[in-house]
Amino acid sequence: MATVTQIEQRVQDITGRDDLAARIVTAVQDALLELQRKGNHYFMEEVSERTLVVDRQDYIVPLDFKDAGAFYLLDANGGLVLPPLEQVSMEEGHEQFGKLDKGSPEKFTLYRGALWVWPPKPQLITEKLRLEYYKFLPTISGGQSNELTANWSDLVTAEATWQFYSQLPNAEKQATFWKGVTDVKYAQLERFSGLKRLKGKVVMRPRTSPRLRDTRRSRIFGGR
């Protein structure tokens, strides 16, 4: 299990540039963030809930929010209402729903840091939204560690090394080499994340109980 400090030391050892230790610290932090920006990985999965408020359309998204996964409506008993809510743009929402339309959420929009539901006026305070999303990990430094540094330290080291070289003059060859190493190791992370999601996926058999029945309003051609 590698810490941030240990990865910084690895980069120093690889580059032989302990005189640029401050730049290496920055490169490691940039690498940790960039690896999360580049994709949605298994260790970034999170779940949160929002209680619906009568006639309220917009809700706060989690502070660590990065990207949407599947958003569901939860009924009064906490059961998932299938299928998950469809994501639409703000323009599409306005086209498909009137500003006074009432009912349980069928679709959602992410706009200006907030979650908007359609139709715009929920009516049941017993219903909730279940947000399955991808989050940014908390910033770490020094002797701290997270899933990236603990189990993918070689990837973090390679990413930080190529980022360090990419900012140095006359270091194109080294930057290109370490970018290639990063690409190989990042592909391994992507494959592992894909397998993790497939292993954890639960395929639900069709049911018609009130808990799992699609309660959306019928629309010609799916409303699109």
- Tens-level pLDDT at each residue, the chain (224 residues): 899 999 999 999 999 999 999 999 999 999 999 999 999 999 999 999 999 999 999 999 999 999 999 999 999 999 999 999 999 999 999 999 999 999 999 999 999 999 999 999 999 999 999 999 999 999 999 999 999 999 999 999 999 999 999 999 999 999 999 999 999 999 999 999 999 876 655 433 333 334 444 444 433 333 33
User: Where exactly are the structural domains of the chain?
Assistant: 4-41+137-200, 45-135+204-216
- φ, ψ of residue 112 to 5 degrees: the values are 50, 45
Q: What is the pLDDT of residue 199?
A: 64
Residue 133 · residue 110 · CB < 8 Å: no
Task: Write out pLDDT tens, residues 203-219.
Answer: 333 333 344 444 444 33
The two tokens of residue 50 are 């929002």
The residues pairing with 71 across neighbouring beta strands, listed in sequence order, are 131
Task: Note the pTM of the prediction, 2 decimals.
Answer: 0.84
User: Which residues are CB-contacts of 154 (< 8 A; sequence separation ≥ 6)?
Assistant: 185
Q: What is the pLDDT of residue 198?
A: 66
| CB half-sphere exposure, 87, CA atoms < 13 A | 10
